[in-house]
Amino acid sequence: MELQLDRNKRYTYADYLTWTDNKMRELLDGFIKIMSQAPTLTHARLTRKISYPMIRHIDKRKGKCEVFVAPFDVRLPKSKDVMDNDKIDTVVQPDICIVCDPAKLDKRGCLGTPDMIVEILSPATLKYDLNEKFNLYEAAGVKEYWVVSPAMGVNVFLLQENGKYGEGVAYEDPDDQIPVHTLDGLNISWKELFAE
C-alpha cells in the first residue's frame, strides 16, 4: 500500500528512511519528487551501455572510483558540517553516478557529492533533469554531468573554476567519441550507445 505523504510538507532523510512502501522517491530541498517505477527498455539499455565501459575501465586500471546505478541513494548535505539524517533534505537517485572518494560511501549509499552523474531523459523527467537537477548538481559541485536523450544524443557539462557549469558540449553524431573526463583515457562511442 502506498503511503499518503503530504507533497507540500518538507521532509528529511530521516523521514525518507521510514517510508516502507518501496515507491521510488527523491527529496529536493525537503520536497518529495515521485520517480518513475520502471525504466523503459531504451532507458535500461542506455544505462547498461554507459555504465559497463566505465566499470571495465576502472577494473582494468584498478582504479579507486566506483560506478553505481539507480536505485542508489545520493545524499547531498547543504554543507560538510551537516551530516545528520534529520538535517539532510536532499536525496537523489541518479541513473548512473561515479564516486572516487571511498570515504563518501556508507551502507546507505553516497553521503556527499559524486564526481560524475548521468541522467537519462524520459518524457516524465525531462524538465526535472534539465532544470532542477542541473541546478542542484551544479550547486553541489558535481564535476561532470551527462544528460542523455534517446532522441537527441548526449550533452556533457563540466564544472568550471567559478563553480558553474560551462556551456554543454553536444554529442549528436554517430562518429562522436564521448570523453569521460572523470575516468582519464575513456571514450564512449556514440554509435555503440544508440545502436539498437
d(CA 63, CA 86) in angstroms, rounded, equals 34
Query: What range defines the domain where residue 44 resides?
Result: 40-194
Based on the structure, what is the number of domains in the chain? 1
55, part of any domain: yes
How large is the greatest C-alpha to C-alpha distance in the chain, in angstroms?
48
pLDDT (0 to 100) of residue 6 = 79
Cell of 73: 541513494
Q: Strand, helix or coil at 115?
A: coil
> Which pLDDT tens digit goes with each residue over 115-132?
999 999 987 778 888 899
> Which pLDDT tens digit goes with each residue over 100-118?
999 999 999 999 999 999 9
53, part of any domain: yes
Note whether 109 and 72 are within 8 A (CB): yes
pLDDT (0 to 100) of residue 81 = 63
pTM of the model: 0.93
Per DSSP, 134 falls in state H
| Helix or strand (DSSP H, E) at 41 | helix 41-61
184, part of any domain: yes
